[in-house]
Amino acid sequence: MMDNCTNLGYLLTLSAKLMKYHLMKQLDQENFTVQQWAVIKDLERLEGLGGAENNFMAVSIANRLDMDKPTISGIIKRLLEKGYIEKYPHSTDKRASILKLSAQTKEILPRLEELSDQTVSAAVVDFTEEEISQLTHLLFRMTKNLKEEE
Amino acid sequence: MMDNCTNLGYLLTLSAKLMKYHLMKQLDQENFTVQQWAVIKDLERLEGLGGAENNFMAVSIANRLDMDKPTISGIIKRLLEKGYIEKYPHSTDKRASILKLSAQTKEILPRLEELSDQTVSAAVVDFTEEEISQLTHLLFRMTKNLKEEE
DNA sequence: GAAAAGAAGTTAGTATACTAACTATATCTA
DNA sequence: TAGATATAGTTAGTATACTAACTTCTTTTC
């Protein structure tokens, strides 16, 4: 039982690392990192839903993507520098900013989506639909267990 | 299909990150990082097998743990600084060093093992033996697919 | 046996993940 | 309404993951 668990921890870490590395290689073609893509993807989803401006604050993005504030602060800084997102003042909170995707980014989004999908597809190339569902379900439960441990 | 794949990528990354964070918290009690523990664990396993001295070179450890040379170089440097490992000259290759666990580290190993096992156990607390085997198997296949993509 | 190619490890740089501490602003409490 | 507490975001520091380039040494080639 314990041997299996140790192997599980190692395989989880290794598979996530390999997946991230492959995705990094793909996104690098368009000058994005994996984390930058995750932020872009999150903003796209929220813009599609048309939610309140508070959803576009750095702290909200950080919460949704399970990131630390200094981490999201740095990522946003670099996305602003690259012109991939734009920053607007919050209507009532002077501390906060509202972040939006730039036109340039919206234009390239389908391409990034494609690159991302290719990576995951390559990882499960020989999986059945049921196996993919199973893996997703098991990972979700694991995530839930770990979050409850906090 | 594509939605499920996107969710899979996200869950894989998230679960690995949560697992690593929990392990980090545990190992921090003994002033180890997750990567340092992985290196220690790898050396312990090899010392147990009593293999050739080449197995204890930095490049060999890097290969076994799927790490880059600069990365392993930095980790080993910090482990040496902490006194957790010791460095000896290679018998024939002046470029290389042989790395061994210090007595201090060997003493604390059972404790680190326990902390590590606790983390993984917490993640699969409500899993059956079969589910753990299944998850391990699916992750292994995913890893294999991604490595073949290189 | 000398030159070319390859390998072990390090350095420099960028991006991130995290803790701790900070500034400025908002909210809560007595 | 003033002081206490909390929050949004940033800075500083450490550790890591990666690319590129470097030094030193070993192996291969002609």
Q: What is the ipTM of this complex?
A: 0.91
Interface test with A, best of B1, B3, B5 (most A CBs within 10 A): B5
Rounded-to-integer distance, Cα B128 and Cα A15, Å: 22
Is any atom of nucleic acid chain C found less than 7 Å from the CB of residue A77? no
DSSP state of B149: T
Is any atom of nucleic acid chain D found less than 7 Å from the CB of residue A57? yes
* Whether A19 and B13 lie within 8 Å, measured CB to CB: yes
DSSP state of B32: -
The pLDDT tens digits for B42-84 are 999 999 988 899 999 999 999 999 999 999 999 999 999 999 9
At A86, the amino acid letter reads E
In degrees and rounded to multiples of 5, residue B73 shows phi and psi of -60, -45
Residue B133, both tokens:
């085997």
Please tell me which residue of chain B has the smallest CA distance to A17: B13
Rounded-to-integer distance, Cα B23 and Cα A128, Å: 32
Q: Is the pLDDT of residue B4 over 90?
A: no
Kindly give the confidence (pLDDT) of every residue in chain A, 150 residues in length, as a single tens digit, with 9 standing for 90 and above: 456 666 899 999 999 999 999 999 999 999 999 999 999 999 999 999 888 999 999 999 999 999 999 999 999 999 999 999 999 999 999 999 999 999 999 999 999 999 999 999 999 999 999 999 999 999 999 999 999 887
* Whether A122 and B12 lie within 8 Å, measured CB to CB: no
* Whether A18 and B143 lie within 8 Å, measured CB to CB: yes
For residue A24, the SS3 value is helix
Residue A60, both tokens:
């909200």
DSSP state of A127: -
In degrees and rounded to multiples of 5, residue A67 shows phi and psi of -120, 155
Q: Does B48 touch chain A (CB under 8 A)?
A: no
Is any atom of nucleic acid chain D found less than 7 Å from the CB of residue B95? yes
Interface test with B, best of A5, A20, A65 (most B CBs within 10 A): A5
Q: Domains in chain B and their CATH numbers?
A: 32-120 (1.10.10.10)
Q: Is the pLDDT of residue B6 over 70?
A: no
Q: Tell me which H or E stretch contains A98.
A: strand A97-101
CA distance B65 to chain A (A): 9
Amino acid B149: pLDDT: 81
Nearest to B71 by CA among B39, B28, B47: B39
B35 and B75 in contact (C-beta within 8 Å)? Answer: yes
H helices of B29-102, in order, are: 34-49, 58-65, 69-82
Given the DSSP bridges, would you call strands A97-101 and A85-89 parallel, antiparallel or unpaired? antiparallel
For residue A130, what are the contacts with CB-CB under 8 A and spacing of at least 6? none
First to last CA, chain A: 24
For residue B89, the SS3 value is strand
Kindly report the bases of strand D lying within 7 A of a protein C-beta atom: 7-13, 15-21, 24-27
